[in-house]
Structure formats: structure tokens, C-alpha cells
Structure 1
């Protein structure tokens, strides 16, 4: 097994440090009122997997897919996020998702939209402890105000279960720029029009 904190198989790291609770606090910056989980068996359970690091192993709370194994999360943030890493926890090997596809700043995606090329995707490993972190492309996931996570399949079960989704990164408040109102003359200025004609005539000559 690779040492904790060192890269493992190229796409994820084993991590378990005291700072993880602080690093994985982006869930507090999610606009929970507008968060959507499509194909959840029980309404509202998709929101419950975004929780404190200390509660990641609470297997009493989870989201399970309904009609098939797919789940789709639309995650709006209250500001801008630089996303650096993601952790996915499942309990049972068969119901654990085996892939996640990530889309940046495409609000309210549906299953009709997921045929688009993802900004990044990972083949997932079964993780029931939260030690596998998948490092995102920071350049790609800079200034994220909306994140979509698509879980298309699992390791063989009819439905998918997710117990925890952890997001690591940096947060900054959204900037609200003032609106500049310009007032334009509704009537043409005849003097300006005559000057323009003089200039045109002069250049033609």
C-alpha cells in the first residue's frame, strides 16, 4: 500500500490528516436550498451526503438511486470555488459508484445533457473510509460557481448508494458589480450632424 499522502495509481491519493476537517469544509459554501439530486429514491436525501468530515462514516444517512444506478447532482455555491479534490464514500462494494463525471458551471443539467464531454472524470475505487482523494485539474476547476457530478454506473448493483461527498478547495465571495446606467440623447444634435458632413466632404475632396 502506498504511504498516506503519496500518489496512488496516478488518479487519487491516500490521505488521513488532522487538517482534513478544515480542508473539506466546502460543503458549508453550498447553496443547499437550490442543490438538486436527480433520480434519488427519497426526495431530499441527496443533500445529506454533503456533511462535516467528522460525520463522513455515518452510514445511517445516504442517498440511493431510484429507477437505475445513475445519480446526478447539481451543486450551486454561494460564491466562487477553486476545487482541488473530491472524496466519494460508499459502504457496499456493489452499490458503490465506479465513475464520476464532473462538469463546471453548467447549472441545472439533466440526464439529457450528460452526453456532453465532461470537464474531468474519474474511475472510482471502492472507498468506505474516506481515504481516497481524487485530485482535480485546478486550472480547469478554478472559479467554479456551479458543479455538476454525474455518477453513471456502479460495481454491479441495480441501484447506487453514496454516503459522503467531500469537496476540498478554496472559497471566495462572489463579486457583485454595480450596474452602470447610461442616458443617451433621444434627439440628434443638428450641429454635430453638420460637422460630420463637413468632415466627410473634406475627406472626399
Structure 2
């Protein structure tokens, strides 16, 4: 009995000490402040904190399963060709920077040839295996990335004859290198691209 009373007494003492220790621990000191930025609004200082971007995306409802499947195919195709369009855009901008560094026609020709080889290597390695639908999307996205249609890019880099030949070949496969990207007309594609967190260099 005495042991139980002693144990209970000791427990209460420890609990009391623990409570006091907790109170001391959470007690704010004179220098315990959180530094934040502030702005003066009508003579009153208002603190403000920069938060991470919050994206609010509405859940899209589809009228039919066929419409949903069509959207899923479009999303798959856009995500598949987007890296190629980005590469084309980056390479074209690099070429423009390179051409601006010199007025030497021979060096400029070498820059164009190097760019042409890189794009051809990409085409021979990967792009040639794209479906017709993916090719159409790629043509539009290249315009989105560069601000120029694929036809204009070929004409600038290789001349009118090469552009005409490339356009003729593209027509055989159901493509049009003169296709332009219209944000309003391509709302689904634009939303898919933005949902990936990528916007544009334009």
C-alpha cells in the first residue's frame, strides 16, 4: 500500500515538473519573432508572404465515352510530339543567335548546315515514326514555338525550291507545312500543354 502511494506521489511530482517545463518551453521570448515582408497601406503596415503558385483546374466532363477517348488520344499525341517541337524551337533560336554573331556568308552557311543536320538526324531517328495525326500536331506546335510555320522555316533555311519540294512531299502524307497555330482554334491542345506546366518561349 505504501509503495502504491509513493508511486502515485512521484508520478504527480514528475507530471507537475513536466507541465512547468512545457510552459517554459512554449513561452515566447522578446526576440522570438517571425520576420516577414510588409507593405504600407494607408499608413498601416501589413505583412505579406509570397506563396507558391496554386493552379485551379476545373474537372472536365465529356458528353460521351467517344469524346473522352478522342481527348485522351489527343493528349497522348500532344505530349508525344511536344519535346520535338521544343527542340525545333530551341534549335531555331540558337541558329538565329549564331547567324547574328557574324556577317561572314561562309560561317552562316556552316551554321545553317549544322542546324539542318541536327534536325534531319532527329527526323531519321524518331520523327519519321510519328502517325499522321501526330505529324499534324507537330507542324502546329513548331509554329507555336518559333512563330513561323514549318514551310517558312524550310524556306528561310533551304530556299524556295526546298520548301516547295518539302510541302509537296508533306501533302502526299496528308500534311500541310503552312499550317499555323491558332490558340482559339486549338484550345484543347493549348490546355493540354499548359496542364503539363509548359507554356512557350513566345
By the TM > 0.5 criterion, same fold?
no
Compute the TM-score of the two structures, normalised by the length of structure 2: 0.26
Higher relative contact order (CA 8 A, sep 6+): 1
| Structure that is richer in helix per residue | 2
Larger Rg: 2
Compute the TM-score of the two structures, normalised by the length of structure 1: 0.26
| Structure that is richer in strand per residue | 1
